[in-house]
Amino acid sequence: MKKTLLLLLLLISASTIPFAFNHHATYLQGPVNGQKAPNLIFKNPEGNVMALSELKGKVVMIDFWASWCGPCRRANPFVVKMYNTYKDKKFNCGKGFEIYSVSLDQNAQAWKNAIAQDGLTWKYHVSDLGYWSSEPARIYGITSIPQCYLIDGEGTIIGAGLRPEMVEQELAKRVK
């Protein structure tokens, strides 16, 4: 009887594990190329609401990063250079280039300090200060940073789950 019960429990467990893992993977997967980019509406360091949808018409890089992330901070000089190179360019898929930075910080002062220290001069910086539980990270399925999405002027994702240097390659291909 014990062997039969144990076997039955093992069979039930084995049949539910794939569902649990598949459900989790689906939850973590973010939007993919060709899909409309989910809108993000969050506050900047001054407490003003900034929506991703405000940037319609431009090519936009959504940059997921944090002040405490070493690889993010090391990538920031490259991101600044890319922004300065492409912000006034014309593209075959949008007018101009903008960055919508989403911080996974918990500490507002550390976030503000990193923006200033790294010279992140663009206007669009947002965070809900939710760390890895942040709503923007959940919406885009972010499980590692730095990670970027590239969106065309119509709001369609043309680069999903990219590193900053990969975004630059995509921008270079699309300059008029």
Contacts of residue 123, defined as CB under 8 A and 6 or more positions apart, other chains included, come to: 50, 98
Mean pLDDT of 3-19: 40
Mean pLDDT of 88-104: 95
Beta bridge partners of 128: none
Contacts of residue 122, defined as CB under 8 A and 6 or more positions apart, other chains included, come to: 83, 87, 98, 99, 101
- Give CA separation, 90 vs 64, 79, 85, 157, 174, in Å: 24, 18, 11, 18, 9
Mean pLDDT of 21-26: 32
Give yes or no for residue 16 having a pLDDT over 50.
no
Say what the pLDDT of residue 60 is.
98
Say what the pLDDT of residue 29 is.
78
Give yes or no for residue 107 having a pLDDT over 90.
yes
Say what the pLDDT of residue 96 is.
93
Give yes or no for residue 11 having a pLDDT over 50.
no
Say what the pLDDT of residue 1 is.
55
| Helices 164-174 and 70-86: angle between axes, nearest 10 degrees | 20
Q: What is the mean pLDDT of the chain?
A: 87
Say what the pLDDT of residue 24 is.
31
Give yes or no for residue 8 having a pLDDT over 50.
no
Span 125-142, pLDDT tens digits: 999 999 999 999 999 999
Percent of the chain with pLDDT over 70: 84
Span 40-93, pLDDT tens digits: 999 999 999 999 999 999 999 999 999 999 999 999 999 999 999 999 999 999
